[in-house]
Structure 1
């Protein structure tokens, strides 16, 4: 049985695919999960798999990375947000659009505010964000 985090990632992937299809961009992009990042991790010599990646069909280049962070209750996932923020910044330095998507009720109000000021997107606003991002 998939974990809540895996279900969240799969839901984000399905939403991205739907928005791309509805905007008529399916010939330009494809969406995959667990994409091995060519940039690795901000942690030295560690590999990294991006939760959801939008790739350009023609060149196969990464266009957009979406890291999915789900937290149903209080816990240590908030610590992982700092690393996710650094990895998103690093992706952008390498020319790949990158965003972290927050889901679940477990992130505290201060952490949510911090994340949103860092450019994270809350699940409630993801569809609108994707439509603006892809030009819809």
Structure 2
């Protein structure tokens, strides 16, 4: 996880085991209110020891999503998943403490992917793709 100190004063991720499953808690403290949030999501599949773009490579405005404008399949799947474990579940703007609790790919992600190793990259921007707020990468194995 990387956080831009212009937008974020503190960001932490803690990985631990809960009921035999690896889970993650995430805490982010925003310095500024975010009201025009752009999200870029890319899914990579490991092929011959190299991660290659696989199935998902989309960019959308999170605020438009919550305003029910321009919704697509990938947005709905990802945001339903994220809303289960975080407070990223309401209309813009976002300010203060943004958190995720007990996030687990094994338990929560609706898996429609073939078996293999994957990396999910989520990049967050404010207003345009040059104002990066931060990014998160997650690795998972689909068995």
What TM-score, normalized by structure 2, do the two folds share?
0.27
| Greater gyration radius | 2
- Structure with the largest fraction of helix: 1
- Structure with the largest fraction of strand: 2
What TM-score, normalized by structure 1, do the two folds share?
0.27
